[in-house]
């Protein structure tokens, strides 16, 4: 298992692929424990499920493997320690990194897999992972995640015409990034004449993903520089 000092002092900025891989590992540990840790093929299938995922992805082995390398650098996931057999298996280390309760783990998992959601949506979608008896239990779990230092969840500004606010995880960037993602989803859902607008939105999403990856790479390079000077 990872060492006890797994919490990273640097801000975490997961790429979309890293968030999907991490969420899939967390989900499958609970829902299909007999097949966890996961083989590469099983993990690819879990990432690209057509249900319980937003957005639906089509990650290939290279993409998942690259995401695993990034997560391992952050000590959030990687090759399973002590796994038997010749087939490589993979596991997450979210609990060691953050010491989450089961409620917090369930909320983060579903936020990683499905993006910004209302407390009502979270209550229904976390049922296989952890049962929240009341909506107030969901809100209490979200509040704990928001009170972390740094915060791991943020409440997004309520969109026009909606009754409930949505909550988003902050492992892929700050609240501005989460708001941008939420607005993109809202525009997509409300626009039936996708056409040119959809093309613009796709390019925006790709640019945001590229920026997140570049920011992550800068953080990792800075860490390597700090380690190098520290060794000196």
**The pTM is what?**
0.74
Percentage with pLDDT > 70 across the chain: 73
According to the model, what pLDDT value does residue 161 have?
84
According to the model, what pLDDT value does residue 106 have?
98
Mean pLDDT across the chain: 83
3-class secondary structure, 75: coil
Nearest CA-CA partner of 25 in 109, 118, 120: 109
Strands 38-39 and 89-92: antiparallel
Give yes or no for a contact between 24 and 47, defined as CB atoms under 8 angstroms apart. yes
3-class secondary structure, 162: coil
Span 59-72, pLDDT tens digits? 999 999 999 999 99
According to the model, what pLDDT value does residue 181 have?
53
| Cα–Cα distance, 94 to 81 (Å, whole number) | 15
Name the E strands within 87-209.
89-92, 153-155, 167-169
According to the model, what pLDDT value does residue 193 have?
42
Task: Give the residue ranges of the chain where pLDDT is below 50.
Answer: 3-9, 184-202, 205, 232
According to the model, what pLDDT value does residue 44 have?
98
Span 153-170, pLDDT tens digits? 999 988 888 888 999 999
How far apart, in Å, are the Cα atoms of 51 and each of 25, 45, 48, 125?
Answer: 16, 11, 9, 11
According to the model, what pLDDT value does residue 229 have?
76
According to the model, what pLDDT value does residue 177 have?
59
């Amino acid at each position: 298992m990872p060492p006890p000092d797994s919490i990273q002092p640097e801000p975490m900025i997961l790429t979309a692929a890293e968030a999907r891989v991490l969420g899939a590992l967390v989900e499958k540990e609970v829902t299909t424990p007999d097949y966890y840790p996961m083989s590469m093929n099983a993990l690819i299938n879990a990432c690209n499920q057509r249900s319980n995922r937003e957005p639906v992805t089509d990650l290939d082995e290279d993409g998942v493997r690259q995401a695993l390398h990034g997560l391992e650098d952050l000590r959030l996931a990687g090759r399973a320690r002590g796994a038997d057999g010749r087939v490589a298996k993979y596991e997450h280390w979210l609990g060691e990194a953050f010491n989450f309760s089961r409620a917090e783990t369930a909320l983060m998992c579903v936020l990683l897999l499905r993006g910004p959601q209302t407390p009502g949506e979270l209550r229904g979608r976390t049922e296989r992972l952890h049962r929240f008896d009341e909506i107030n239990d969901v809100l209490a779990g979200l509040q704990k995640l928001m009170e972390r230092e740094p915060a791991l969840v943020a409440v997004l500004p309520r969109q026009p015409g909606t009754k409930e606010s949505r909550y988003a995880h902050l492992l892929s960037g700050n609240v501005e990034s989460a708001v941008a993602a939420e607005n993109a989803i809202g525009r997509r859902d409300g626009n039936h004449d996708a056409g040119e607008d959809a093309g613009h939105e796709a390019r925006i999403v790709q640019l945001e993903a590229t920026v997140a990856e570049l920011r992550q790479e800068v953080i990792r390079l800075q860490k390597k520089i700090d380690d190098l000077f520290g060794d000196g």
